[in-house]
Chains A and B, each alone.
Chain A
Amino acid sequence: MELFLNKELVFRNIKGKNQQEILAYLSGQLFEKGYVKEEYIQAIQKREQQYPTGLPSTPPGIAIPHANFELVNKTTLAIATLAEPVDFYNMEETDQTLKIRIVIMMAIGEPHGQVEMLQKIVGIIQDELVREKMIHAKSDEELLQLLAQAVK
């Protein structure tokens, strides 16, 4: 399945009090723009509570929320940088919080066709420089470009 990346899913320096607000915003945008079904909005919250997606790394931290592929219309990534760090729980130690500055919400319709992309997204946690560039991106185009290069 083809990966659709679009500037309409790039959000810089957004503000949210907590992870629920950030998740609601991004999943709402994916729904409004037709990439996911409405149920995805609920599913992403539930999934994050049960199985958090904060990834342990050096700052700035990254989280990769995602939900059931049946709820995805078009495979894409929505990316947000956060004006202030927001606590997400650690995927591996679920009672531990991580300070997250970058959220990549993955809407994946067919996971086995996306193994390489998934590996590369996760690989971003090993690349502190690209994460720094992402949070300092001066335009949506620049942030989209960084994301596109990282998953290429």
Chain B
Amino acid sequence: MKRILVACGNGIATSTVVATKIKEYLNEKNVQVEMTQTKLMEVPSKVQDYDLLITTGQFEGQTGGVPVVKGMPILTGIGAEETKEEVLNILTKA
């Protein structure tokens, strides 16, 4: 099963929205995923265990090669479809 780390400022509000929407979308596509939410500050210590990092909020730290997708379009709805497809592509090709 693929593992996705979703990070926002305090790992509560916006990451909850993004994690829920991404999970719904991937389930529709029959992709089983495990989602974990965290604070942006804790990303560097956790990200290595995941297949993908999705962030709402600015993140400029290193991920050691783990792909990063900006989750803001999922929140705003503007460009949400493209972002979901990007997530799907990363998970299915990896």
User: Which A residues form the contact surface with B (CB < 8 A)?
Assistant: 47, 50-51, 53, 55-57, 64, 66-69, 91-94, 106, 108, 111-112, 114-115, 118-119, 122-123, 125-126
Beta-carbon contact of B76 and A126 below 8 Å: yes
Q: Which of B1-43 contact A (CB under 8 A)?
A: 8-10, 12-14, 16-17, 20-21, 40
CB within 8 A of A115: which of B10, B17, B76? B17
CB distance from A106 to the nearest CB of B (A): 6
Sample 30 A-B pairs with CB under 8 A, ordered by A number: A47-B10, A56-B72, A57-B76, A64-B13, A66-B12, A66-B13, A68-B10, A68-B12, A91-B57, A91-B72, A92-B56, A92-B57, A106-B13, A108-B12, A108-B13, A111-B13, A114-B16, A115-B17, A115-B20, A118-B13, A118-B17, A119-B20, A119-B21, A122-B14, A122-B17, A122-B75, A122-B76, A123-B77, A125-B76, A126-B77
A115 to B56, CA, bound (A): 15
Give the size category of B's interface with A: 20 to 34
User: Which B residues form the contact surface with A (CB < 8 A)?
Assistant: 8-10, 12-14, 16-17, 20-21, 40, 56-58, 70, 72, 75-78
